[in-house]
Amino acid sequence: NRYVVTRHHIDGTPQESDFELKTEALSLSIEPGKKELIVKILYLSIDPYQLNRMKQKSSSQETTSSARAVKPFEAIDAHGVGRVVASGNPAFKEDDLVAGLLTWGEYCTVKEGGLLNKVDNIGFPISHHVGVLAFSGLTAYAGFFEVCKPKKGEKVFVSAAAGSVGNLVGQYAKLFGCNVVGCAGSQKKVDLLKEKLGFDEAFNYKEETDLKSALKRYFPDGIDIYFDNVGAEMLEAAVENMNTFGRVAVCGAISEYTDKGKRAAPNMVDIIYKRITMQGFLSVDHMKVYKDFISDTVEHIRAGKLQVLEDISHGLESIPSAFVGLFRGDNIGKKMVQVADD
Ligand code: NDP
C-alpha cells in the first residue's frame, strides 16, 4: 500500500517537496473478530483546511483546524470514496461503495466506529460523492441557507467563487432568486462564472488595486450577504460595503492559511452601526439540513439547473501537486484525485 505523508510541519505556502510517498505491506484480509474494513480508495477530496492541520506541532490542542493535527510521516486522513475489499463489520460487505474518512493512499483500514457511510447509487458519477453531494455541497448549502438566511432579491457577494464551495454558493443563490457577484483569480474563471454558471457579475480580484472601490462599483446599492472563503483584505472590503443588517458567513480564510502575519481587521464600528452579523460555521454543524441538501441538489442537477464543476487529477502521485495547486488557484471547481478505477 502506498500513501502520501508530509516530511515536516508546513509553515507558509506548501510546496510539492513538503510531501513524499511511503510504502507499507498491507494484508487484504481481516483478522477474525476485528470489526474492521479494508477499503480500496477510488477518489480523494483535496481540501485547503488540511494545511491548517499540517502546520501544527503535534497535539490536537495546538491545531487551528477543528480536525486532528497531521504528524509528519503519518497517514493523512481525508474525505473520499472507495470500495470495500474486506469486511469484518456486519454493517458492510465486500464490494460496497462507501464514502467517508479515508486516507491519502491506495488502501486504508477503517476501524469500527470510523466515519463511513454506504453510498446509495443514485445514478451519478462516483466523483459527485466527493464534492457536490458531499462536504463542499453541504458547506455551500448550509452556509448559504442556514447562516446567511437569504431573502429573494438580496445582493450576494462570493469570494473564491470558481472554487468548490464558492461556485455552488453562487449557483444556489441564483436559483433562490438573489443577485450574485463573484470574484476569482483569473479571466478564465471570471468568464466561466458569468457565461456558464449564471452569475450576474464577476471580477478578477488580482487585477483590482483597491478592493473597497471595486466592490463599490459592483455593488452600488451595497452588499446584503458576503460568503467569505478567503478572509483578510477581501473581508475588510466587503464589510465596508455591507448594508444595514448584512450577514457575513465566515466559511474559510484561505489567504490567511499560508501567511500567519495576515489577519482580517474589519471596521468594527461599521459592524456595530450597520448591525452586521458575522458567523463562522462548519458544515458538520448542519447535518440537520443534510436530507434537504441532497434532495434539492439532486433535483437541480437532474433538471440541468446546477452545473457540476470537477477538477480531477489522476494517480496517487498527483496528490501533492493537486493540494499545492489550491493555494495557487490552479483548480476550477472541486479538486479531487482519482486514485484508482472502479
Ligand atoms: P476551492 O476549491 O475554493 O480552492 C481554493 C481556491 O481559493 C483557489 O482555487 C483560489 O482561487 C483561491 N485562493 C487560493 N489562495 C488565495 C488567496 N491567497 N487569496 C484569495 N483566494 C485564494 O476550495 P474549497 O471550495 O474547498 O474551500 C473554499 C474555502 O472554504 C476555504 O477557505 C476552505 O478552507 C473553506 N471550507 C470551509 C468549510 C467549513 O465547513 N467551514 C468546509 C469546506 C471548505 P482563485 O483563483 O480565485 O484565487
DSSP notation for 304-332: T-S---EEEEESGGGHHHHHHHHTTT--S
Instruction: Please check whether residues 111 and 152 belong to one and the same domain.
Output: no
In this structure, is residue 300 part of a structural domain? no
Beta strands in 119-241 (DSSP E): 155-158, 179-184, 201-204, 223-228
Q: Is 74 in contact with 53 (CB distance < 8 Å)?
A: no
Half-sphere exposure of 123 (CA within 13 A, CB side): 4
Q: Is 58 in contact with 113 (CB distance < 8 Å)?
A: no
What's the distance, CA 174 to chain centroid?
20
**Considering only CA atoms, which residue is closest to atom 2 of ligand 1?**
163
Domain that holds residue 234: 135-284
Using left for φ > 0, alpha for ψ between -120 and 50, and beta otherwise, residue 149 falls in left
- Considering Cα of 222, then 166, then 132, then 66, what sign does the dihedral take? negative
In this structure, is residue 238 part of a structural domain? yes
Instruction: Please check whether residues 233 and 276 belong to one and the same domain.
Output: yes
**Considering only CA atoms, which residue is closest to atom 3 of ligand 1?**
163
Instruction: Please check whether residues 89 and 152 belong to one and the same domain.
Output: no
- Ligand 1 neighbourhood includes 329 CB (under 6 angstroms): yes
Instruction: Please check whether residues 38 and 173 belong to one and the same domain.
Output: no
For residue 194, give every residue at least 6 positions away whose Cβ sits within 8 Å of its Cβ, in sequence order, or none.
Answer: 201, 202
Choose among 45, 121, 101: nearest CA to 312: 45
Burial 294-305 (b: 16+ CB within 10 A, else e): bebbbebbeeee
In this structure, is residue 303 part of a structural domain? no
In this structure, is residue 78 part of a structural domain? yes
Rounded CA separation 41/59 (Å): 27
Grid cell 484508482 in the structure block, residue: 340
- Cα distance between the two ends of the chain: 17
- Ligand 1 neighbourhood includes 176 CB (under 6 angstroms): no
Assign residue 164 the CATH number of its domain.
3.40.50.720
- Ligand 1 neighbourhood includes 282 CB (under 6 angstroms): yes
**Considering only CA atoms, which residue is closest to atom 42 of ligand 1?**
139
Q: Is 198 in contact with 305 (CB distance < 8 Å)?
A: no
- pLDDT score, position 113: 83
In this structure, is residue 297 part of a structural domain? no
For residue 291, give every residue at least 6 positions away whose Cβ sits within 8 Å of its Cβ, in sequence order, or none.
Answer: none
Instruction: Please check whether residues 100 and 211 belong to one and the same domain.
Output: no
Instruction: Please check whether residues 47 and 158 belong to one and the same domain.
Output: no
- Ligand 1 neighbourhood includes 51 CB (under 6 angstroms): no
Instruction: Please check whether residues 200 and 242 belong to one and the same domain.
Output: yes
In this structure, is residue 241 part of a structural domain? yes
In this structure, is residue 298 part of a structural domain? no
Q: Given 242, 268, 284, which residue is the final one in a domain?
A: 284
Query: Model-level pTM greater than 0.90?
Result: yes
Tell me the one-letter amino acid at 176.
Answer: F
ipTM of the complex: 0.99
In this structure, is residue 167 part of a structural domain? yes
- Ligand 1 neighbourhood includes 229 CB (under 6 angstroms): yes
Number of structural domains found in the chain: 2
Instruction: Please check whether residues 50 and 177 belong to one and the same domain.
Output: no
Rounded CA separation 135/48 (Å): 13
- Ligand 1 neighbourhood includes 256 CB (under 6 angstroms): no
- Ligand 1 neighbourhood includes 185 CB (under 6 angstroms): yes
Assign residue 12 the CATH number of its domain.
3.90.180.10
Strand partners, 5: 20
Instruction: Please check whether residues 117 and 140 belong to one and the same domain.
Output: no
Q: Given 247, 269, 284, which residue is the final one in a domain?
A: 284
Instruction: Please check whether residues 153 and 267 belong to one and the same domain.
Output: yes
- Ligand 1 neighbourhood includes 48 CB (under 6 angstroms): yes
Instruction: Please check whether residues 262 and 247 belong to one and the same domain.
Output: yes
- Please give the chain's pLDDT, 342 residues, in tens: 999 999 999 989 999 999 999 999 988 888 888 899 999 999 999 999 999 999 866 444 455 667 789 999 999 999 999 999 999 999 999 999 999 999 999 999 999 888 899 998 789 999 999 999 999 999 999 999 999 999 999 999 999 999 999 999 999 999 999 999 999 999 999 999 999 999 999 999 999 999 999 999 999 999 999 999 999 999 999 999 999 999 999 999 999 999 988 999 999 999 999 999 999 999 999 999 999 999 999 999 999 999 999 999 999 999 999 999 999 999 999 999 999 999
Instruction: Give the ligand 1 atom nearest the CA of 255.
Output: 18
Neighbours of 284 (CB within 10 A): 12
Measure 166 CA to ligand 1 centroid, in angstroms.
8
Instruction: Please check whether residues 189 and 317 belong to one and the same domain.
Output: no
**What stretch of H or E contains 256?**
helix 254-257
Rounded CA separation 132/127 (Å): 9
